[in-house]
Structure 1
Amino acid sequence: MKLWRVVAGILAVGFVAAGVTPAWACACGGYLPDQESRARAYGENALVRHDGSTEEITLSMAINGSSKKAAWIMPVPSAAKVELGETGVFNRLQWMTRERVETRKTYWPFRDLGIMGSGRDTAGAPAPGSSGGVDVRQQMVLGPFEVVRLAATTSAPLIDWLRSNGYLVPPTLAANITPYLTEKWEIVAVKLAPKQAGQSMSGSTPPLKLTFSSDRIVYPMRLSKGATREQTVTVYVAAEHRVDAAEVPDTDVKPELLYAGRVQDEALPVPTNYLTAYTATYAEPGRITNDYLFKQAATDEEFQRVRYVTVNDGLWSTIAILAGGPVLLGVGAAIVARILVRRSSTARP
């Protein structure tokens, strides 16, 4: 299950070249590969599943190029269970929430004149111990990743811990992560741990799944404030009912509804099988001030985008339609005439 965009700030491991600044490129954080590859993250999908008391977040990023050293951090509201997610879940989600294609016919010479209808429209129908002020709660290896669960009360010891463990820390991280630490959120730090020397990562990263207690459906976005590039966020929310985006990262950016409806998929069992999908692009990440907060919508009204495809039925169909009127009129007139003649013959003495 590729859940969330809780990626808070992907930082390069061992990337300490002076004068190099992070190229933030992910929706909920930033991605910075090793200096040699200069690979970039160009996409990210997130699935959030909530049953009323427990939230699951699955996340995967798409990498353009390859990277031998990469890392990121993720803030979550409470202690998290971290494991590999299900491969292929986002492909299924994209298929389930795809546009419905409807065909409209037009007839020459009316094509593309707007008389018969044309073009494209859209309509509805997330080693144990203490180290210098940082509580290292758990360390593990999951597939190609080294994962560490951390807790701290202030940013300074956390930043020191990240630096001493090979993370490049962007200058904005301390300020942007402080609100999460004040609210006692847990920090999950992840970095690439290739099984073979020289092994690199490219394409989509293996999905990671985080499970934690939460009475709210929240999707962390505040660390994206440090991004310097446009951020596109697509979040799939699986819950008992349809949800609205009650709070958004940037109040000037309204997320677009992609889909709402009941689905059948093993990754989304009943009752959390109502899927609501949103997407948004943040051209100015510095304006991000909040996380996503989703709440139950007023109704479970379903929605699916519709793409209309106009098909020209051809010249001869047009001629037939244009000629059909006079022909039918003539036939009708002949029938009426015959009836009148019969009646006239019958009425003779």
Structure 2
Amino acid sequence: MRGTTHRILTTLVALLALQLGSLVAPAWACGCGAMITRPSERIGVDREESAVHWDGRTETVVMRFRVHGNARQAAWVMPVPHRADVTLGDPGLFDRLEELAAPEERERTYFWPREDDWPFDGGHGDGASAGAAPGASVGVVGRERLGPFDVARLTATDPEALGTWLRANGFELPARLTPELRPYVERKWEYVAVRLAPEERGEHLYGELTPLRITFASTELVYPMRLSRLAAGSQTLGLSILADHRMEPRAAIGGDRPEVTFSGRIDRPDGPVAALTGGAPAHLTVLEQRFPEPSRIDDDHVLRAVADTPYRRVIYRDRLLTVAGVPAWLLTAGLGAAVITVTTVLLTVRANRRRRAPSPA
């Protein structure tokens, strides 16, 4: 049994290197998959953003990566619990979600001048701060070209037949992925493997890549994270969730405590958000999480419904308190000086009158 499991893992890992040549090695791991490129090239993921819609039966994940490095092509893989459909995502989705979850801006004033205000600013500043056929043994259940992506949907039900197919296609193994895939093999998950390449030959993969949209059946909201253990440096995950209720991770899975940056009901979704939810209202939860030491990641994110408590971050913009454009502190100081001056004059006049008054006989 152990030998069979090892062969399954071995052939799966090989297939993840689809279309990348005879030698590949993992260079980076994303929050929900692994980036693989050639040994002579490097690719780094600056940020991963994902929008997830879950209706209790079906989960749709739209992912966008911002990358850097000198790689001209790379592969990326995501484990999924059931058969997946893959299409291109709408780049405008993330902009719209950002607008919906934008922090509230409030203004607050302060009385005494600060270092950027006159007279401490040296005369500068303005005083404000800113499917395989039945019986088939080869585990390739679908393959399609989507824009700049070559997408393969994979299974591993027959390691001998799959291994034969891989050897015929000249794939070698990035061995570091093997132990990380074991839990997915044991649970009989499937895989989405994607080859990424710029549309213009000779260009490097750099900046924001076109989003991918992956849909699969799931009775729980799960976001695969285990392959992130291979990341070479700290990572940040941004996750926007559209569901019937506010959703939060059950555990930190080895990272910092997840932070909710927005929670609110979207009664009338529009544009790309409506396309994701099918036009149905949804509760939007936005999460941020840092993973300073990715090697500590020990599981996938499983999210649960919690109380629909609304939350929106507030950004305060401080402004020096003014009256008719004049700093209030200056008016107060001037008024105080005037009061002191008038009081002093009155007391002096009164004292002089007393001195000049004739003494009683």
Q: TM-score, normalised by structure 1?
A: 0.75
User: Structure 2 CA distance, aligned partners of 1:245 and 1:224?
Assistant: 16
1:183 corresponds, among 165, 181, 187, to 187
8 Å CA contact 1:153, 1:182 repeated in 2: no
Moved more, 315-324 or 143-152: 315-324
* Identity among equivalent pairs (%): 34
Aligned residues between the structures:
309
| Secondary structure of the corresponding residue to residue 176 of structure 1 | helix
| Whole-angstrom distance in 1 between the partners of 2:224 and 2:281 | 21
8 Å contact 1:137–1:150 — kept in the other structure? yes
Please name the residue that 1:172 is paired with. 176
Give the structure 2 partner of residue 333 of structure 1. Answer: none
Deviations 1:16-57 (A, max 9, x none): 66xx95332522333344456534221110011011111101
Identify, as 1 or 2, the structure richer in helix: 2
Q: What is the TM-score when the length of structure 2 is the normalising length? A: 0.72
**Distance change >3 Å, CA 164–CA 272, structure 1 → 2:** farther
Give the structure 1 partner of residue 259 of structure 2: 256
Q: 1:157 to 1:283 in 2, by over 3 A?
A: farther
Q: How does 1:1-349 map to 2 (within 5 A)?
A: 14=20, 22-34=26-38, 38-65=42-69, 67-109=71-113, 134-153=138-157, 169-193=173-197, 197-250=201-254, 253-263=256-266, 264-269=269-274, 270-298=279-307, 300-313=308-321, 316-321=327-332
Q: Which runs of 5+ in 2 are unaligned?
A: 1-12, 117-127, 340-361
Partner SS state of residue 83, structure 2: coil
Which of the two has higher C-alpha Rg?
2
Moved more, 278-287 or 60-69: 60-69
RMSD: 3.7
Give the whole-Å Cα distance in 1 for the aligned partners of 2:315 and 2:195. 41
Q: 1:10 to 1:136 in 2, by over 3 A?
A: closer
Q: 1:24 to 1:165 in 2, by over 3 A?
A: farther
Q: CA deviation at 1:193?
A: 4.9
Kept after mapping to 2: 8 A contact 1:89/1:267: yes
CA deviation after TM superposition for structure 1 residue 72, in Å: 0.8
Change (3 A) 1:110 1:145: closer
Segment of structure 1 superposing worse, 307-316 or 56-65: 307-316
- Partner SS, residue 102 of structure 1: strand
Unmatched 5+ stretches in structure 1:
1-7, 113-117, 121-126, 329-349
Q: CA separation in 1, counterparts of 2:180 and 2:160?
A: 12
Q: Using a 3 Å threshold, how does the CA distance of structure 1 residues 158 and 173 change in structure 2: closer, same or farther? A: farther
Once the 2 structures are TM-superposed, how far is the Cα of residue 258 of structure 1 from its aligned partner? 0.9
Shift of 1:239: 0.6
SS of equivalent to 2:250: strand
